[in-house]
Structure 1
Amino acid sequence: MDKTLKLSLETVSIKNFATFEDQTINFSGGFNSIVGETGSGKSLILDAIQLLLGARADRKLVRKDSEFATIEATFIGSSESTNRYFDDIGYPTEDDITIKRVIYANGKSKSFLNYQSCPLSALQTFSKKFIDLVGQFENQKLLSNDYQLILLDSYANLKNDVDKYQIYFSKYNDLLNKRDELLELNASRIQREEFVKFQINEIEKLSPEIGEEENLISKKESILNYEKNINALQVMSEIISDGDTNILALIHQCKNLSSQTSHDFSSLLEEIKSNVEQLSYEVSKNIDQEPLDESIDDIIDRLDLYQKLKRKFGGSIEAILEEYENLRKELNELNESEINLHNICAQIEDTKNKAYALAQEIHEKRSKATSKLSQALTKSVRQLKMDGATFDIKIQESQTMGPRGISSLIFMAETNPGEGYFAIKDIASGGELSRILLSLRQILSSNESISVFLFDEIDTGVGGETALAIGKSLYEVSKNSQVIAITHLPQIASFSDKLILVSKSSHNKRTISKVEEITGKNKREVIELMAPLN
């Protein structure tokens, strides 16, 4: 664990939040107790901090007649490691870490991390790494097998081993999903392969090329113009030398008539005849020119095929060619699906074996750590006045791998000597669960990256020497991490480095909660006012 990632909560500013109008709280880096009369607003401070850590906002917490409430916090302890962490999650900082929530009266809210707008998930990611809330409801986590494994792994320094295993386990599940996809694909492979081949053949029949369609349109126009030209020339040829309008025959007739007159038109008629004959020659020569090689029908058929494929594959030649490449790729994949399926099955077996082997190693290390943790936990809870309590953490091996390996835990305890061991979920009260979890926190606090522990109602249902023991335990936790605890017991408050005294008053018919920071010799006066020490 990189201890340079330790942070501590320096300040929390609260505005227009429930009974708080405008308050700023400065915390000590050690043990902070939030104290005050019932209903003064102690728990509201913890509610505000939880909102900063990604909890869902409730518009009812916006102070009456206010448009919005704001909560802002500053964490100190920035280092090269923490800066790198915030760089990695996309919210860089070179100084302190700042978090802000704005909650509007209409129920909407905004979140900010290091002055950047962010989703709640970013705040939740941050809080899970650095902050732990140990409260009345959070105690129930202790009953979760996954949470118990996390605690044991932290105690046994198995985080790196578990991280490595989870990489294998994730890869194993990804391969299983890929195998299932291939099996599904293989079931319909033949039908799909025939369809893909049909479309490939359809495109290959055309063999489209960029620019060819425009060239075909140009050829089509040329052919149509050629036929129109030939038709006109043929009509001209008939007019000149054929049919009823045979111009040459008419000129010859005119020459005969001219010889019967007193006027000599022979020279002029001869010239006209020569010009008409030249015209007839030119027309005949153009009629006899070679036609274009390609058939107009073939060109039109090809253009029609272009239009059909464009409509089918995206509206352009580029889209047809792209679809062709995609179809060729899919056909290759279909052809290789059986090979891929065989390879993936081999990878699944190899990855499973590696993951299972590592899971067994982790299980063996956990097995060795359970007895030590059981002894340490027994010693710790007895110091918290669970006299005679003895813990025995049972570990079992499963043949089925899970996200954290093949181990399952049962936290067993004998709370009354000679009465037998039972799972703590069956015998522990809420107060006992709190003390068990506090004991675990004391044992594990120096091993974790958790920087801030928030304890809510840790003193529920206890008093006297038990309260003193809890206070001492919280103080021990604060040697490695910052502790912020709400308490109504002077025995616990007496161990704190700073008291956050919350009071409530009425002003202009409005209720206002205020905080006062108590340190040094003034602590004693406040603690004595809470209740006489036992």
Structure 2
Amino acid sequence: MIEEIRIADLGVIGSAEVVLGPGLTVLTGETGAGKTMVLTALSLLLGGKADPATVRTGASGASVEGRVVLAADHPALARALEAGGETDDDGSLLLVRTVGAAGESGTGRSRAFVGGRSVPQAVLAELAETLVTVHGQADQARLRSPAHQRAALDEFAGPEHASTLRAYRDAWAERARVRQELAELVERAQDRSREAELLRLGLAEVERVDPQPGEDVELATEEQRLAHAEELRVAAATAHTALAGDESGAEPASATDLVEHARRALEHVAGHDPALAELATRVGEAGYLLADAAAELSAYAGDLAADPRRLEVVNQRRAELATLTRAYGSDVAEVLEWSRTAGLRLLELEGGDQRIEDLRARGDALDARLRELAGVLSATRTAAAERLATVVSAELAGLAMAGARVEVEVTASEELGPYGGDDVAMLLVPHAGSPARPLGKGASGGELSRVMLALEVALAEGAGTDRPGTFVFDEVDAGVGGKAAVEVGRRLASLARDSQVLVVTHLAQVAAFADHHLVVTKSSHNGVDVVTASDVTSVTDEARVRELARMLSGQEDSDAARAHAAELLELSGVGR
């Protein structure tokens, strides 16, 4: 339930607070007093489009705050908490919408808040789906559309029908996805074939060369050694001679001899000073290292020999690897990785034909499933159509349309659609003896208003589905007067027994049935029309009689009008 709405700088409203309660609340006032802006404010809270032009002239922006009270298990509360919002201490939820003014001093941007958390506008729209049902002149126009009529029938058909419809919609969406994927696979079959052939050629080349991990690095090292074998041998021999001396003894003392000489000199006096003893040990270790190095140099020089044939083999192998790396990676490691991923991709491509067959089979199964569900939907729609026609026709009789009836036709469409295989049409027989005509062609504005109200009452009382607890009607009584207006008020009061109903009306016959009556007036400040907090008042007793008298005759002080207003109030009480 919506508890209150606070509005600032929206249209003619400077600052106003609209306090709402349970049951039926009517909003009345002279034309142009600002009633429309109240509904505009409500639309903003429900995620409607923000228009900077609605910001009050001279203001930097408009704001609307709404406080709603929800049960702990209400889906709107769960969505608000999911979006990061928080409830107040009393459990209520605060919704806020701001709209910046357009122009040089304003951005024209709109912002939305739920429970103190900034959220996208779409979140407010999601909350609105389970919070409020709004009906206005535009909704009467939508009632002429077959899609809107089908949706109303589906809502009336009940929860089992809704479950079947959800299953159908899911299957329809999956079939669309399957068809799209199948079309893409078939369309790209030639491209996939070319890609697969290129992968096969590349994998065959990699398999022929058979590169090994790290082979390119090892071959590069070996190629350098083979290409400079003589230089390396000479360097190793020279180093060996320097360390160990030559066999002829013609060279000067070797490094190992000199180190050994130093060690002996130190050891000779080591007993006299521990420091020299330690140095003698270290010099001895250096001698062992030099001896080992000399031995390894000797072995290296002895094993190293120029091998032109091996060098040729190495160069050829490196050339083969270079061909691969130019095509499939910067080194052998990247070539091997390409080979792995290419193999997986080839398996995927080669499985394309099987995937096509699988998708075709899945599509056939979904077609069968859709036909099955469409048959169930048609049966439940047909049964619900008869019930809905009966209920709405009974409501129309109570709305001063005696002899009128609504017919709901369910016919098979040429092919399945997103909501089944049915075309739904609502037809109105306005009076006995007249032909049934589609709502979109033969119904007047007043008749549409009453049909819409009758349909809403039927949905609220007989659908068996969870519906929003608040209903808003903007001039649902358009084109209605006299006894019909009284019956419209009676039906709105009936709807308000279990729901919160807000009605903007110009008819006293409707306003008389309200549990709460709010009047919007407009005052002038410095020559500018404005609605302030004191201009939205709740009227009761004598003040309410005066307002009803004004609505009846435009003369709130007329004794006759006041007597008629008092009579309306008395009749409305009896009529409930």
| Range of TM-score over shorter length | 0.7 to 0.9
Query: Which whole-Å CA distance do the structure 2 matches of 1:284 and 1:321 have between them?
Result: 37
User: 2:173 is matched with which residue?
Assistant: 170
Q: Which residue of 1 aligns with 2:364?
A: 349
1:99-248 equivalences in 2 (<5 Å)? 99-105=95-101, 106-157=107-158, 158-201=161-204, 212=214, 216-217=216-217, 220-221=220-221, 223-224=223-224, 227-228=227-228, 230-231=230-231
> What is residue 289 of structure 2 aligned with on the other side?
none
C-alpha displacement of 1:194: 0.8
Query: 1: distance between equivalents of 2:235 and 2:339?
Result: 50
Does structure 1 conserve the Cα–Cα contact (< 8 Å) formed by 2:7 and 2:17?
yes
Q: Give 1:493 deviation, angstroms.
A: 0.8
1:73 shift after superposition: 0.9
What's the counterpart of residue 10 of structure 2? Answer: 17
2:502 is the alignment partner of 1:484: yes
* Equivalent pair of 1:26/1:517 in contact (CA under 8 Å): no
Q: Percent identity?
A: 22
The one-letter code sitting in structure 1 at the alignment partner of 2:498 is N
Aligned length, in residue pairs: 486
Question: Hey, what's the Cα distance between the residues in 1 that align with 2:439 and 2:217?
Answer: 85
The 8 Å contact of residues 83 and 92 in structure 1, kept in 2 or not, is answered as: no
Deviates more, 1:228-237 or 1:515-524: 228-237
| Pair 1:69-2:70 in alignment | no
Looking at structure 2, the residues matched to 108 and 444 of structure 1 have their Cα atoms a distance apart, in angstroms, of: 37
Once residues 283 and 166 of structure 1 are traced to their aligned partners in structure 2, the CA distance between those partners, rounded to angstroms, is 85
How far has the Cα of 1:516 moved from its partner? 2.6
Residues 198 and 104 (structure 1 numbering): CA distance in 2 closer, same or farther, change over 3 Å?
farther
Q: Report whether the alignment pairs 1:523 with 2:544.
A: yes
Counterpart residue number, 1:267? none
For residue 283 of structure 1, report the CA deviation from its aligned partner: 9.2
Distance in 2 (alpha carbons) for counterparts of 1:14 and 1:207: 78
The CA deviation at 1:92 is: 5.2
Query: Is the Cα contact below 8 Å between 1:146 and 1:404 reproduced in 2?
Result: no
- Distance (Å, rounded) in 1 between the aligned partners of 2:467 and 2:236: 102
Partner SS for 1:148: helix
User: 1:423 aligned to 2:401?
Assistant: no
The structure 2 residue matched to 1:40, chosen from 33, 53, 71, is: 33
**Shift, 1:204, TM fit:** 5.0
**Aligned-pair distance for 1:44?**
0.5
Instruction: Give the conservation status (yes or no) of the 8 Å contact 2:27–2:504.
Output: yes
Supply the distance in 2 between the matched residues of 1:201 and 1:167 (Cα, whole angstroms): 45
Residue by residue over 1:284-328, the C-alpha shift from the partner in whole angstroms, topping out at 9 and shown as x without a partner, is: 98276246967552565367457535xx66x78887666544432
**Structure 1 equivalent of residue 274 of structure 2:** none
Q: Distance in 1 between matches of 2:487 and 2:78?
A: 36
Q: Give the AA of the match of 2:526.
A: N
Letter in structure 1 aligned against 2:198: F
**CA, structure 1 residues 417+216, in 2 after alignment: closer, same or farther (shift >3 Å)?**
same
Unaligned regions of 5+ residues in structure 2, if any? 102-106, 238-247, 255-293, 553-560, 569-576
**Normalised TM-score (structure 1):** 0.82
1:98 matched to which residue of 2?
A: 94
TM alignment of 1:128-527, pairs within 5 A? 128-157=129-158, 158-201=161-204, 212=214, 216-217=216-217, 220-221=220-221, 223-224=223-224, 227-228=227-228, 230-231=230-231, 272=250, 286=301, 289-290=304-305, 297-298=315-316, 300-301=318-319, 304-305=322-323, 308-309=326-327, 323-446=338-461, 447=463, 448-514=466-532, 515-518=535-538, 520-521=540-541, 522-527=543-548
More RCO (CA 8 Å, sep 6+): 1
Structure 1 CA distance, aligned partners of 2:460 and 2:298? 108
- Distance in 2 (alpha carbons) for counterparts of 1:421 and 1:160: 32
Say which SS state the counterpart of residue 78 (structure 1) adopts. Answer: coil
2:68–2:92 CA contact under 8 A, matched in 1? yes
1:135 and 1:236 mapped to 2: Cα distance?
Answer: 101
SS of 2:195's partner is helix
Q: Which amino acid aligns with 2:143?
A: L
Q: 1:296 to 1:82 in 2, by over 3 A?
A: same
Q: Determine the C-alpha separation between the residues in 2 that align with 1:320 and 1:132.
A: 64
RMSD: 3.3
Asked whether the 8 Å contact 2:507–2:551 carries over to 1, the reply is yes
Distance across 2 between alignment mates of 1:74 and 1:316: 67
Distance in structure 2 (CA, Å) of the matches to 1:318 and 1:488: 83
Say whether the 8 Å CA contact 1:445–1:480 is kept in structure 2: no
The 8 Å contact of residues 24 and 496 in structure 2, kept in 1 or not, is answered as yes
* Structure 1 counterpart of 2:488, one-letter code: I
Give me the whole-angstrom Cα distance separating, in 2, the residues matched to 1:450 and 1:301.
Answer: 76
What is the alpha-carbon distance in structure 1 between the residues aligned to residue 117 and residue 97 of structure 2?
11
For 1:272, what is the secondary structure of its paired residue?
coil
Larger mean Cα displacement after TM superposition, 410-419 or 509-518: 509-518
Which residue in 2 is equivalent to 1:26? 19
1:248 alignment partner in structure 2:
none
Q: Is the 8 A contact 1:72 1:101 kept in 2?
A: yes
Write out per-residue CA displacement over residues 128-178 of structure 1, whole angstroms, 9 at most, x where no aligned residue.
333221111111221222221221122220212211222222222222222
The verdict on how the C-alpha distance between 1:16 and 1:298 changes in structure 2, with shifts beyond 3 A counting, is farther
The 3-state SS of whatever aligns with 1:385 is coil
CA distance in 2 between partners of 1:422 and 1:96 (Å): 47
Shift of 1:487: 0.8
Judged with a 3 Å threshold, the aligned counterparts in structure 2 of structure 1 residues 223 and 329 are, in CA distance, closer, same or farther, namely closer
Cα deviation, 1:406-457, whole Å, max 9, x if unaligned, reads 1111111221322311112110122221211111001111334222211112
Q: Conserved in 2, the CA contact under 8 Å of 1:32 and 1:484?
A: yes
| Whole-Å separation in 2 of the counterparts to 1:193 and 1:62 | 62
> Alpha-carbon deviations, 1:29-80, whole Å to 9, x = none?
2211111111110001101111111222111112222222111111112312
Matches of 2:84 and 2:331, distance apart in 1: 44
Shift of 1:498: 1.2
The residue type paired with residue 507 of structure 1 is H
2:184 partner letter: E
CA distance in 2: counterparts of 1:302 and 1:518, whole angstroms: 94
Q: 1:502 to 1:231 in 2, by over 3 A?
A: same
Q: Following the alignment from structure 1 to structure 2, what is the Cα–Cα distance between the partners of residues 150 and 159? A: 11
Asked if 2 retains the 8 angstrom alpha-carbon contact of 1:459 and 1:487, the reply is yes
1:78 and 1:96 in contact (8 A); partners too: no
